[in-house]
Amino acid sequence: MAQYIIEGEQELSGEIKVAGAKNAALKILAAAILLDDKCTITNVPQIEDINRMIELLQDLGANVSFSGSTIEIDTKEINKTTLDTDLTHRLRSSIMLAGPLLARFGKITMVHPGGCIIGQRPIDFYISGFTALGAKLKDEKESYSFKTDKLIGTKIILPRISVTVTESLMMAACKAQGTTTIINAAMEPEIKALANFLNSCGAKITGAGTPEMTIEGVESLTGGTYNIIPDRLETGSFVVMGLITGSEIKITNCNPNHLQTELLMLEKAGAKLEIGKDYIITKKSKIKATSITTHEYPGFATDLQPLFTVLMTQAEGQTLIHEAVYEGRLFYTDKLNIMGANITMCDPHRVIVNGPTRLYGRTLEGPDLRAGMALVLAGLVAEGQTIIGNVYQIERGYENLTERLTKLGVKITRQD
């Protein structure tokens, strides 16, 4: 199993370019199933999750070619509607193929999707949403099967905000008969990006990025070209990296407007930032304890909570981190304590961080994508050498990480 070897106590300098948004690219690739013609997607991040999505599409019969960050996809020859079991187990976003396949072929069979283990992630909202659109579920011991003669537009009220459910129902409704309204829809920038892509192909979606979306079904969707938006989570990770190492680095090709709450909280914590239209420069800052509560967009992103928590281990004072989205997402803090942090778990949703504390290099396993990246940042300021295993999880969401960090002066190597 591959691992990262990091030499700690490093100060960085230079520029780092943000890649395309993982959570936009995955959904737009899935949406290609709805199109009558091939499409070209640019600024696609070169990460493991994208590789798994491509493999799933190819297994279904799609023709996919890619060069660097550009992908051409033609789904006209898709000839099956059952998702590969092994690939589905490895990719949470495999669930995003359900809506498009159901809309195009009237059926889909799949096992429960995989991904990061960060709490309960049931698919009951998908089931109720597809059922409301007219699909029938056959729930077998090892898989789920949906079938429908025709999806019919309807009003769907989501009991709880969910990004992927909002996106799945939006894609399915694009080819439903009539009009679908989604109430309590998620508002993330990636949802608006998906809607913009679909609208550029002929869909009729309004209200994306607001709590109420309307989708008027259409008979067909054409192909086209679309450029993936910058990854706000990678942007936030690099901002924290600059701050925790006391470094001046410039994060380019980003959209600071997608991180307004996170940047506000960082500035409240004492972060000195120069924020431009498409860049952020971190300055050497004295960080003070600042409590946060995660929330759906435009609140503080749950995916950036582990990075902020690591930063708070170096802050002056006591911080309450309230993870309100996923239970169990804070269990990685035990690994930070092994490195020397002083973090007390109050319950599965809350921890108290006492800082600043000196961190020491250790050999650890990355538990999931964002917590794994948090351990990388901890290793940058730790005394001695940090070895992080299970880096596949990190590489699911960060493109060419060791190469890009090395250009900033990070002493990091990847060992197979």
Q: Rounded CA gap, 284 and 286, in Å?
A: 7
- Catalytic residue chosen out of the listed positions 39, 116, 174, 201: 116
Which has the closest alpha carbon to 166: 121, 219, 99? 99
3-state SS class at 344: strand
Interatomic CA distance for residues 257 and 118, integer angstroms: 27
Q: Are 332 and 367 in contact (CB under 8 A)?
A: yes
Q: What is the dihedral of CA 221, 222, 227, 233, to 10 degrees?
A: 20
Q: Is 116 a catalytic residue?
A: yes
Q: Is the previous residue joined to 298 through a cis bond, with omega within 30 degrees of 0?
A: yes
SS (H, E, C) 268-325: HCCCCEEECCCEEEECCCCCECCCEEECCCCCECHHHHHHHHHHHCCCEEEEEEECCC
Alpha-carbon dihedral 156, 159, 165, 167, rounded to 10 degrees: 60
Residue 120 and residue 101 in contact, taking contact as beta carbons nearer than 8 Å: no
Say how many C-beta atoms besides its own lie within 10 A of residue 335's C-beta: 21
Cα–Cα dist 170/100, whole Å: 9
313's CB contacts (< 8 A; 6+ apart) are: 336, 341, 342, 343, 353, 355, 356, 357, 359, 378
Q: How many CA atoms lie within 13 A of 4 on its CB side?
A: 33
State how far the alpha carbon of 134 is from the alpha carbons of 34, 81, 126, 137, 175, in Å: 18, 18, 12, 10, 12
The answer for residues whose C-beta is within 8 angstroms of residue 305's C-beta and 6 or more apart is: 292, 294, 321, 323, 329, 370
List residues with catalytic annotation. 116
